[in-house]
Structure 1
Amino acid sequence: MASYARTSEDFRQKDGHGVRHQLRINERTAREYGCRVVATYTDNGCSASKRGAARPGFDLLVEDLGRGDTVDGQVLDGVVCVADDRLYRRADDLTRFFTALTSHPDRIYVDPHGVRDPYSQEGLLQAVRSLDVAVMETRVRSQRLMNWHWARAVEGVPHSGPRPFGWLENRITLHPVEAPLVQKAIADRVSGKSVRAIAREWCDLKVTGTRGGRPNPQTVTQIMTAPRVCGYRANRGELLLVPETRQPVLGQWEPIVAPDQWHAVCATFSAGNLYMHRGTGAPRRTAGKAAPRQLGSGILRCGAKRDDGTVCHGALCAQKGRSRKSPYVYSCRDCRRCSISGPLADEALERLLFSEAAGPAQPSAAMRDRWHAGEVGLEEKRKILAAALTGCVVQPGVKGRQAWDHSRVRPSWR
């Protein structure tokens, strides 16, 4: 019999005591009903209610149940667990578990309340009822947690989580080094200085974030435009207001700048870059991904060889270039060994598409005329390329060679 244990979090003691206790209870339960545990599966600090959460122990359990035995040949004739919600809190996990459990005959499911027949209608209904209870409990706990955070926020209590840049660990007192940096950065930005220059200046001063990372333009923007810098309190991407006066809720911490300075620095950015849009808990304004802005994005692949002799095949991403001839380039972020001029690569793709090598995939003459006349938009061009090509491998360039070499782009036709 397989024994499964799971805990949602283990951030205090971090010793796995929760899953150990569950496994001991499972051993006792198995003995009470004449069963023997031959394999254990655990997920310590893993959520079962969040979509896409990794649960390697549960995945291995389902895999072994479907096969019928463990990797070392121990036959699995059932599962023992302290409660249903340790195994599943989502309908898809319930389906996966019961499909694997009943893939072989004569298996049982055991918990402290007794032995359950997973093949019977009553056994399945009991599992569904347990799922309904788990889903409702998850919703109630989530709403309770949201209300708790909101109540703390309207009282001006500082944010939980990592220490915010500019304040000490108590999240109330200003940091003697970081706070003046933020104040100066806001003044410089309002005066017209670029965020990239501010981030570079912080890097030159050996400044690191509260988690040890190097400053970059995005994090500097978030720090400067966070409402906390002027003492305002936000919650889940919204600025909290006092119901009676409709004035912003003031936090219990020391502000770095005055509210008018915060409004001034926020006005220098587009709405999508502000902390209230990009910060923790802020709702995204769009559920979709940003549309590609270059022709070869998602089509070009890296042809550089790794140290072990294999080809990288990483996606080449469009980045800003450093010359007028190549205002953008495609570079591999995986191995960083391959880069090609953006206009060169796009021109090579067009040549290949309208060449005889394209064969049946070659567009019609009318489409060629529309393409060269500028009547075909980027999205339509990308669809035409995707219909003709499965991808293009870009070979690394030769250092010192100035002439454009279109043969570096090697297509794979559909």
Structure 2
Amino acid sequence: MGQDGANEPNGLIPVASYARTSEDVRQKDGHGVRHQLRINERTAREHGCRVVQVYTDNSCSASRPRAARPGFDRLVEDLMTGRSADGQAISGVVCVADDRLYRRAEDLTRFFGALTSRPGRIYVDPQGRRDPYSQEGLLEAVRSLEAAVAETQVRSRRLVNWHWARAVEGVPHSGPRPFGWQEDRITLHPAEAPLVEKAVSDRVGGKPVRAIALEWRDLGVTGTRGGRPNPQTVTQIMTAPRVCGYRANKGALLLVPETGEPVLGRWDPIVTPDRWAAVCATFSAGNLYMHRGSGAPRLTGQRAAPRRLASGILRCGATRHDGTTCHGALCAQKGRSKRSPYVYSCRDCGRCSISGPLADEALERLLFSQAPRSKQPTGVVRDRWFAGELDLAEKRRVVSDVLAGCVVRPGVKGLHAWDHSRVQPVWR
């Protein structure tokens, strides 16, 4: 083997094992990566290798640009140094399939560049050993990439067509139960449906939507996800096409191809189409469900921009019961104190949260104090940053140029001092 990859005394080649799944939304127990790691162990034994380090990305996409993959990033870094964090020499990588490692050309380049940064490395999958230095080895990797890209495109088109076909047939939306209907999404809720019907009548009669929301609060009404009614949510409920039985998809009413009439859903309507049109007419276009509802594009055709510096950058570092790391996205939410008016919390496992100002301050420290010299922003950018001349979008672009993401360790209960080391960087 090469300079960093001499065989162990028992003749086995030390390799890193990598596993990734795109989704783990149902069981949320990391079973997918766990099964892949077992296969990797078997593959390594069959081909004279021994797994010395494990890298995983559970519920992480490899096809979306800028998607955080801390495990993959750490693997690339360790391949460049030739050793794992605990000092184990790495002479190759074992994985169940190429598309677990890369589905984009950028990741293929990073992986093969790191793997071949030192001589004597191997790549192993269930089909056998592969020489990553040979032309055939590289061509096979490129063919795998092309197949993965094609599969992603086909799967995306298939999913879009599947949703459209279901919608045209009037099948209810999946996801949380809509307010006004029971869990089957078809039968009217005995308490909520009359509230929606009365709200529509009151609004058409001139009642302010804020007064309707306050009335619902006084009655102890909560949304299907536990939230308290506010004018925006009440507006969305009243102006959703589903209240009159119409089916919408991605911000547009669906029409029967043969007749041009609106598609009727399979659920019981709360009001008539005329009443629905009347209540919609009492709002400006920008407030209607068709412009602001679930899955609908905004009036500008763009999604709402993030309002916090670290939104979409932080990942949960909590350990699940099976020993895997959560890696769920930390989302900005309203805080409960003056010191932390907003926080970033994991909506996946719910076991990791960090003060918003603390996390943003930690990002600044990483950028300007701890980033490798070659990655640090220029002096001009630094001066403009601290002079307040950069807006939020510009700051986020600076962060994304340096950091692929950050993993946040759970805090210690009862410890009130701010600990910036909880935010662990994943450099680009």
Please give the range of the TM-score, normalised by the shorter of the 2 chains.
Answer: 0.5 to 0.7
Q: CA distance change for structure 1 residues 134 and 227 in 2, over 3 Å: closer, same or farther?
A: same
Q: Identify which of 235, 238, 252 aligns with 2:252.
A: 238
Shift of 1:158: 1.0
Shift of 1:36: 0.9
CA distance in 2, matches of 1:274, 1:254: 21
Q: Identify which of 128, 135, 155 aligns with 1:141.
A: 155
Q: What residue is the counterpart of 2:388 in the other structure? A: 390
Q: Identify which of 60, 64, 81 aligns with 2:95.
A: 81
The letter for the 2-side match of 1:202 is: W
Q: What residue is the counterpart of 2:286 in the other structure? A: 272
CA distance in 1, matches of 2:337, 2:226: 30
CA distance in 2, matches of 1:227, 1:233: 6
Shift of 1:168: 0.3
Shift of 1:272: 2.2
Q: What residue is the counterpart of 2:126 in the other structure? A: 112
Instruction: Map Cα deviations across residues 2-49 of structure 1 (whole Å, 9 max, x no partner).
Output: 101112223344333222221111111112221110011122222222
CA distance in 2, matches of 1:51, 1:313: 31
CA distance in 2, matches of 1:307, 1:203: 24
Residue segments in structure 2 that go unaligned for 5+ positions in a row:
1-14, 306-335, 343-354, 358-383, 391-428
Q: Identify which of 39, 48, 59 aligns with 1:25.
A: 39
The letter for the 1-side match of 2:55 is: Y
Q: CA distance change for structure 1 residues 149 and 190 in 2, over 3 Å: closer, same or farther?
A: same
What is the TM-score of this pair, normalised by structure 2? 0.66
Q: CA distance change for structure 1 residues 389 and 287 in 2, over 3 Å: closer, same or farther?
A: farther
Q: Identify which of 194, 198, 204 aligns with 1:180.
A: 194
Q: CA distance change for structure 1 residues 273 and 118 in 2, over 3 Å: closer, same or farther?
A: farther
Q: Identify which of 144, 150, 160 aligns with 2:174.
A: 160
Q: CA distance change for structure 1 residues 204 and 15 in 2, over 3 Å: closer, same or farther?
A: same
Instruction: Map Cα deviations across residues 47-98 of structure 1 (whole Å, 9 max, x no partner).
Output: 2223343323222222322332222111221111010111111222222322
Q: What residue is the counterpart of 1:170 in the other structure? A: 184
The letter for the 2-side match of 1:220 is: V
2:17 alignment partner, SS class: strand
- In the alignment, is residue 228 of structure 1 matched against residue 226 of structure 2? no
Counting aligned pairs with the same residue, the percent is: 77
2:290 alignment partner, SS class: helix
Q: What residue is the counterpart of 1:5 in the other structure? A: 19
Q: What residue is the counterpart of 2:110 in the other structure? A: 96
Q: Identify which of 23, 48, 53 aligns with 1:39.
A: 53
2:190 alignment partner, SS class: coil
Residue segments in structure 1 that go unaligned for 5+ positions in a row:
292-305, 315-332, 336-385, 393-414
1:170 alignment partner, SS class: coil
Q: Identify which of 121, 124, 127 aligns with 2:141.
A: 127
- In the alignment, is residue 206 of structure 1 matched against residue 220 of structure 2? yes
Instruction: Map Cα deviations across residues 169-195 of structure 1 (whole Å, 9 max, x no partner).
Output: 000001111111111222222222222
RMSD: 2.9
- In the alignment, is residue 189 of structure 1 matched against residue 214 of structure 2? no
Deviates most, 119-128 or 262-271:
119-128
More relative contact order in 1 or in 2 (CA 8 Å, sep 6+)?
Answer: 2
Instruction: Map Cα deviations across residues 338-385 of structure 1 (whole Å, 9 max, x no partner).
Output: xxxxxxxxxxxxxxxxxxxxxxxxxxxxxxxxxxxxxxxxxxxxxxxx
Tell which structure's C-alpha radius of gyration is larger. 1
Shift of 1:287: 5.4
CA distance in 2, matches of 1:290, 1:143: 25
CA distance in 2, matches of 1:41, 1:209: 40
CA distance in 1, matches of 2:181, 2:42: 51
CA distance in 1, matches of 2:303, 2:386: 24
2:184 alignment partner, SS class: coil
CA distance in 2, matches of 1:254, 1:80: 54
The letter for the 1-side match of 2:293 is: G
Shift of 1:387: 11
- In the alignment, is residue 258 of structure 1 matched against residue 272 of structure 2? yes
Instruction: Map Cα deviations across residues 198-227 of structure 1 (whole Å, 9 max, x no partner).
Output: 222222222211111222222222211111
Q: CA distance change for structure 1 residues 390 and 102 in 2, over 3 Å: closer, same or farther?
A: same
CA distance in 1, matches of 2:145, 2:28: 28
Shift of 1:334: 5.8
2:85 alignment partner, SS class: coil
Q: CA distance change for structure 1 residues 194 and 90 in 2, over 3 Å: closer, same or farther?
A: farther
Q: CA distance change for structure 1 residues 150 and 109 in 2, over 3 Å: closer, same or farther?
A: same
The letter for the 2-side match of 1:186 is: V
The letter for the 2-side match of 1:390 is: G
CA distance in 2, matches of 1:289, 1:24: 40
CA distance in 2, matches of 1:91, 1:26: 24
Deviates most, 181-190 or 132-141:
181-190
Q: What residue is the counterpart of 1:71 in the other structure? A: 85
CA distance in 2, matches of 1:39, 1:388: 41
Shift of 1:250: 0.6
What is the TM-score of this pair, normalised by structure 1? 0.68
CA distance in 2, matches of 1:275, 1:313: 29
Q: What residue is the counterpart of 1:217 in the other structure? A: 231
Tell me, yes or no, if the aligned pair for 2:297 and 2:303 is still in contact at 8 Å: no
